[in-house]
Amino acid sequence: MINIGLIGFGNVGQGVYEILTQNTTLLTQRVGQPIRITKIAVRSPKKYQNLIPQDLLTTDVTDILTNPDIDIVVEVMGGETPALDYICTALNHKKYVVTANKEVVSKHKKTFFSLAKENGVDIYFEASVGGGIPIIRSLKVGLAANRIDHIAGILNGTTNYMLTKIEAEQQPFDIILKKAQDAGFAEADPTMDVDGIDAAHKLVILAAVAFKADVQLDDIYHEGIRHIELADIQHADALGYKIKLLALGHRETETQLSLRVHPTLIPKVHLLANINNEFNAAYISGNAVGEVLLSGKGAGGSPTGSAVVSDIIDIAFDISQKMNRRNLETELHQVTVSPITKTSNQYYIRLQATDTPQILEKITHELSQASISIQTLSQPTPQDGTAEIIIITHQSTEGNFNATIKKINDLDNISVINTIRVGLGRKIDLIRY
Amino acid sequence: MINIGLIGFGNVGQGVYEILTQNTTLLTQRVGQPIRITKIAVRSPKKYQNLIPQDLLTTDVTDILTNPDIDIVVEVMGGETPALDYICTALNHKKYVVTANKEVVSKHKKTFFSLAKENGVDIYFEASVGGGIPIIRSLKVGLAANRIDHIAGILNGTTNYMLTKIEAEQQPFDIILKKAQDAGFAEADPTMDVDGIDAAHKLVILAAVAFKADVQLDDIYHEGIRHIELADIQHADALGYKIKLLALGHRETETQLSLRVHPTLIPKVHLLANINNEFNAAYISGNAVGEVLLSGKGAGGSPTGSAVVSDIIDIAFDISQKMNRRNLETELHQVTVSPITKTSNQYYIRLQATDTPQILEKITHELSQASISIQTLSQPTPQDGTAEIIIITHQSTEGNFNATIKKINDLDNISVINTIRVGLGRKIDLIRY
């Protein structure tokens, strides 16, 4: 019998409970012994009195954390505190920990890994990135032969849902945000999602797993989707691109990474461009396997519960055999993260200009002076004497590009409305899908 | 030190060797000790004298199979015999086995699993399905919480490459086959690939892993792509579909499966329709996670080597800890596979008819008599008095459909040119991508 203590009983906790209840026979066969939820710590037991047997519930988390009968502590409450304390206490009591909490793992991974090692146990966190998609397991095991070189992820379901809907319904950001909030796909305060912070936390975790990098949220440039207008999505579409909020990780050298979260134009022929609605995806490039794409639902009680319970099963094997397999691999290294200004990208530029014959000449002059060449330039029919010009450039470093855009914006009769990065980074532009 | 004995040194064997050589430092860190190729058994050592140190080579496979210094036997020679013998001998000598050999695993999985269990070791075969994509690992570990309900796979790179090229180059099957053979993407005798046998072997393996089913190749209906004409691909495209060779596995009840390999029309909006060229993919539906898609290169020395070496790493952990984790899970069950005539599908029908006013009436009469309703019917402009009619039906059982098609074909002035199944099977028609 493997005994589980659950901390938190919201969406994910209930998903875990349902999977363990519904798939009992199958899971017992798989593990070789039953998995049982022994205790669930919640703040208000009454809230759940029609959902589960009341004797499972406790308001005292030490009933779980220091309970010698409990083998695995499953933390699904979310947030940094008190989850940090709970996880540390559990590890110090030699309990395996499974968590779905991206924030606490992103911030305190190093502490957790070393506590786990000291105590001969481990912490599993598949559910913290990409919901039910086995991204972390694939990086650690299924693709273990590889040096991972690149990661490009759609890791935030809310923004992917919104970008899909802005295009499908041809309505602007604000209206779609309101609808997403009403439908439960976005929170009342959408900052974490729409400003790219949620995706950046997940990228911190993937950087630890894929690159063994010890980085923090502040090391990662992150830009959200608030400035993406319907017009940009329409122009991108006309040029053969979709706009997605990507979390990008490139291994530049052994100790230097590029890590960033920002909206990106992706050619429609790439699979990532076809990941829609609340689906997530991770595109991984390894030096042996080449390109791999993993996709599935990135949120929700049942998909996230799938990841939590799969972690539990993996640990259950270890416990059955009284051993620990994986925490050899958890040593993190100091790395340098390239500043965004040093990265090289293609760019989409949307300009408005009074329609004079010299405009294009002035713009192309500035780009040419900065050695930024133009891949495509299109100019839809001008209205009211104001022309909209859409340019997609070839590669430039971001610093050079920004300085040039400032110069163009300072020209008379021209204003730069928006700029968005294009492609998955220079090293993986060769798209085979 | 983990000692590897390699049997075979073709494409995959060389891929394994290169990965172990190139990623030595990284792999040693990951495993906690070095992995070394100790012996390579080949028929003609001279062939490889410029590739590897000659003292690694042996022509006597017992140098590996019964060598007490060897921990893991890696079988990458392919084919049923003598691989079967070699694997059994290795397992009986308590060696872990990693194989990339779909044929021998498909045919003898049950023997291997029980020998492995008896001897306290295990057999790993990630590389036998989907090259470097961690499909089997995901089913066994990352998605372990789930009852797997459906699998739809593009598991044969040759046919996927050919179908992509037929469309891209607008040339018929025979010319594209010749080109694929010249380019090394198809073999001189392409039977295994183009007739769906290779994909069926892989489906046998996936059925064992996902459904714990003990089935054989003969239990699986398989139909290849020889009868797919350029015209079918064009008509499908016009109607919003791509044609792919799919391996389909549906869990109908606890003991009844539908397992089949055949060309299938897939709506372009589905990710599987966007898996092109030599890429493979597995679309998996589990009762907790919902839908997951895994994609990557399904063949080639390096991607397949990635899977082999990832298996080696997984085993290396077990060996370091002197234990065995996974062979609890290898018990297979007897199941019934539904005959193809009992399955229910949508169908694409291409007919040629002399252009008389009564033709459509006669066809729709026959369909209506059989309770097969029509989803779309299109009739491109007739040429030379001969009309081509394209119909996509709603669901029908295959037996009913076949009988009806026979009746239609027996009508005067009508001939049925081709029929192809549509969609992923009735239970997963709700496509969210």
Q: Could you read off the pLDDT of A321-370 as tens digits, one per residue?
A: 766 655 555 688 899 999 999 999 999 999 998 867 788 899 999 999 99
Q: Could you read off the pLDDT of A131-186 as tens digits, one per residue?
A: 999 999 999 999 999 999 999 999 999 999 999 999 999 999 999 999 999 988 89
Q: What is the DSSP letter of A273?
A: G
Q: Is the complex ipTM more than 0.95? A: no
Give the closest residue to A377 by CA, choosing from A365, A359, A393: A393
Q: Does A428 have pLDDT greater than 80?
A: no
What pLDDT, on a 0 to 100 scale, did the predictor assign at position B351?
Answer: 94
Give the three-class secondary structure for A373: coil
What pLDDT, on a 0 to 100 scale, did the predictor assign at position B407?
Answer: 97
Nearest to B306 among A23, A145, A295 (CB): A145
What pLDDT, on a 0 to 100 scale, did the predictor assign at position B31?
Answer: 87
Question: Are the beta carbons of A327 and A119 closer than 8 angstroms?
Answer: no
Judged by a CB distance cut-off of 8 A, whether residue A327 touches chain B is: no
Contact criterion met (CB < 8 Å) for A293 and B290:
no
Nearest to B132 among A288, A297, A308 (CB): A288
Give me the mean pLDDT over the A242-266 stretch: 95
Sign of the Cα pseudo-torsion (A279, B425, B107, B102, in order): negative
Give me the mean pLDDT over the A212-227 stretch: 96
On chain A, the residues whose CB falls within 8 A of the CB of B31 are 328
What pLDDT, on a 0 to 100 scale, did the predictor assign at position B318?
Answer: 78
Q: What is the DSSP letter of B43?
A: S
Q: Is the pTM of this model over 0.90?
A: yes
Active-site annotation holds for B407:
no
What pLDDT, on a 0 to 100 scale, did the predictor assign at position A49?
Answer: 83
Q: Could you read off the pLDDT of B181-201 as tens digits, one per residue?
A: 998 889 999 999 999 999 999
Backbone φ, ψ for residue A264 (5° rounding): -145, 140
What pLDDT, on a 0 to 100 scale, did the predictor assign at position A329?
Answer: 59
Give the pairing of strands A221-222 and A72-75: unpaired
What pLDDT, on a 0 to 100 scale, did the predictor assign at position A431?
Answer: 45
Contact criterion met (CB < 8 Å) for A137 and B132:
no
Give the three-class secondary structure for B361: helix
- Which of A237-241, A313-317, A385-389 has the highest average model confidence (pLDDT)? A237-241
Write the DSSP assignment of B217-256 as a string of letters. GGGSEE--STT--HHHHHHHHHTTEEEEEEEEEEEEETTE
Q: Could you read off the pLDDT of A56-97 as tens digits, one per residue?
A: 999 999 999 999 999 999 999 999 999 999 999 999 999 999
Chain A contacts in chain B segment 10-49 (CB below 8 A): 15, 19, 22-23, 26-27, 29-32
Give the three-class secondary structure for A396: strand
Nearest to B288 among A19, A277, A290 (CB): A19
Single-letter residue type at B174: D
Catalytic positions of A, please?
202
List chain B residues with pLDDT less than 70: 322-330, 355, 382-383, 426-433
Give me the mean pLDDT over the A272-283 stretch: 94
What pLDDT, on a 0 to 100 scale, did the predictor assign at position B35?
Answer: 95
Q: Could you read off the pLDDT of B267-281 as tens digits, one per residue?
A: 998 899 999 999 999
Find all residues with CB under 8 Å of A123, minimum gap 6, and list them.
A87, A91, A96, A97, A98, A99, A105, A112, A113, A116
What pLDDT, on a 0 to 100 scale, did the predictor assign at position B350?
Answer: 96
Sign of the Cα pseudo-torsion (A179, A185, A187, A190, in order): negative
On chain A, the residues whose CB falls within 8 A of the CB of B124 are none
Q: What is the DSSP letter of B10?
A: S
List beta partners, residue B250: B150, B258
What pLDDT, on a 0 to 100 scale, did the predictor assign at position A429?
Answer: 44
Burial level of A250, CB count in 10 A (0-12/13-18/19+)?
buried
Write the DSSP assignment of B80-105 as a string of letters. STTHHHHHHHHHHTT-EEEE--HHHH
Give me the mean pLDDT over the A407-431 stretch: 81
Sign of the Cα pseudo-torsion (A335, A336, A340, A343, in order): negative
What pLDDT, on a 0 to 100 scale, did the predictor assign at position A184?
Answer: 84
On chain B, the residues whose CB falls within 8 A of the CB of A143 are 132, 134, 306, 310
Q: Does A29 have pLDDT greater than 90?
A: no
Task: Report how far residue A165's alpha carbon sits from residue B6's, in angstroms, rounded to the nearest whole number.
Answer: 52
Q: Which of A48-57, A181-190, A222-231, B318-327 has the lowest mean pLDDT?
A: B318-327
Q: Could you read off the pLDDT of A281-304 as tens digits, one per residue?
A: 999 999 999 999 999 999 899 999
